[in-house]
Amino acid sequence: MIASRHRFRVGEIECVAVNDGTFIYPAPWLFSNVPAKELEDSLRDRNLSTTQVETPYTCLLVKAGSRKLLVDTGADGLAPTTGDLVKNLAAEGVAPGEITDVVLTHGHPDHIGGVLDGGGQPAFPNARYLMSKTEWDFWNGPSPLHDAAMDDHVKQLLVGCARKNLPPLKARIELFEGEKEIAPGVQAIPAPGHTPGHFALAISSGKTEFLHLSDAVLHPLNLEHPGWRNVFDLDEQVAANTRQHLLDRAATDGIPMLAYHFPFPGLGRVKRSNGSWKWEAES
C-alpha cells in the first residue's frame, strides 16, 4: 500500500509530499516514440508491467513562515483511485481553509482536478490561486489541443477538465509571466514544453536548495533515455530542452528533487550516467 504522506525539510522550510491517489496509463502513452519491442524489454528488465504504468499523483504542501502553499490539487473525479488530497491533508492536520496559496504548475486534469469542491466553488476558500498567464490563456483559448498528437478522447478529457475547473477561479487567480517569487524561498521557474506555461519550483532556505520538477519528467526511464517522449508533451523539442536544463542543474549542484509522477513520495537525486542521467530515489 502506498503511503499517504511524507514529511521532509528544505532548510527551515517544512514540506510534506501528499498522495492524491494513483492512476494507470497505457505504457505507450508515457513512451510514445519507442519501438514496442524495445519498450517491452526495458520494462521487463526492471520487473515492470510491459503494458501499463501505475503512477502516483504527488502534491506538495509547503509551510513557509505563516504561509501554507499547496502545489497542485490532484485528480479528483478522474478515477476511483484518485481524489484523496483533502483527506490526506486532514490526516496531516491541515484543513482546506488553512491553505493560503494554491500553486497550479499547469492545466492538466491530474493537477487541477481538485481545485473545486462538490458545489463547484473553490475547494480552498481562503487561498489565492496562481498559474502562469501563458498556461491560463492556452487552456481558455480556442481549440487548445487542435494539433496535439493524442486521440480525440484524451483531448476532450483534458480540455473538458480545464474548461470546467479554471473559469470558476477567475476572480481569485493571480497570473504571472516568467519567474515569480510565490513566497519567501519559493520561486516559480518557467519549464515549458509539456504544456506552454508549465513551470517548476525552486525552494531554498539558507544554503539548502530543492527542485520540484512537476511534469518535466514523467518516469525514471525518461532520465536513462532522454529521447523517449510522452504523448502529453505538446512541444517535444522544447520539453526536451527543459528536461536537459533542469536535470543538468540538479546533477551539477547535487540538488534533491521531487517529480510528481515518480514512485511516492517522488523524492530523490539525479546523477549523470553515460550521456544521460540516473535517478536515485530517497531511501
Distances in Å between the alpha carbon of 1 and those of 4, 142, 242? 9, 42, 33
Nearest Cα residue to 231 out of 11, 6, 27: 27
Radius of gyration of the chain (CA): 18
Query: Rounded to whole angstroms, how far apart are CA atoms 151 and 13?
Result: 42
**Kind of pairing between the strands at 128-132 and 101-103:** parallel
Residue appearing with cell numbers 497570473: 175
Domain count, the chain: 1
pTM: 0.96
For residues 278 and 183, give the distance between their C-alpha atoms in angstroms, rounded to a whole number: 31
The b/e string for 260-282 (b: 16+ C-beta within 10 A; e otherwise) is bbbbbbbbbbbeeeeeebebeee
Question: Domain holding 34: CATH number?
Answer: 3.60.15.10
Cis peptide before 220 (omega within 30 of 0): no
**DSSP codes, 34-70:** S-HHHHHHHHHHTT--SSEEEEEEEEEEEEETTEEEE
pLDDT of residue 147: 82
Neighbours of 196 (CB within 10 A): 20
Contact present, 104 and 72 (Cβ < 8 Å)? yes
- The pLDDT value given to residue 2: 66
Residue owning grid cell 476558500: 125
Q: Which amino acid would we find at residue 128?
A: R
The range of the structural domain enclosing residue 35 comes to 5-281
Q: The C-alpha cell of 158 is what?
A: 483534458
Q: What is the pLDDT of residue 275?
A: 83
Task: From 207, 198, 174, 202, select the one nearest 188 (Cα to Cα).
Answer: 202
> How confident is the prediction along the chain (283 residues), in pLDDT tens digits per residue?
568 999 999 999 999 999 999 999 999 999 999 999 999 999 999 999 999 999 999 999 999 989 999 999 999 989 999 999 999 999 999 999 999 999 999 999 999 999 999 999 999 999 999 999 999 999 999 888 888 888 899 999 999 999 999 999 999 999 999 999 999 999 999 999 999 999 999 999 999 999 999 999 999 999 998 889 999 999 999 999 999 999 999 999 999 999 999 999 999 999 998 888 999 998 6
Query: What is residue 198's predicted lDDT score, i.e. its pLDDT?
Result: 98
Question: Rounded to whole angstroms, what are the CA distances from 3 to 22, 27, 190?
Answer: 11, 24, 30
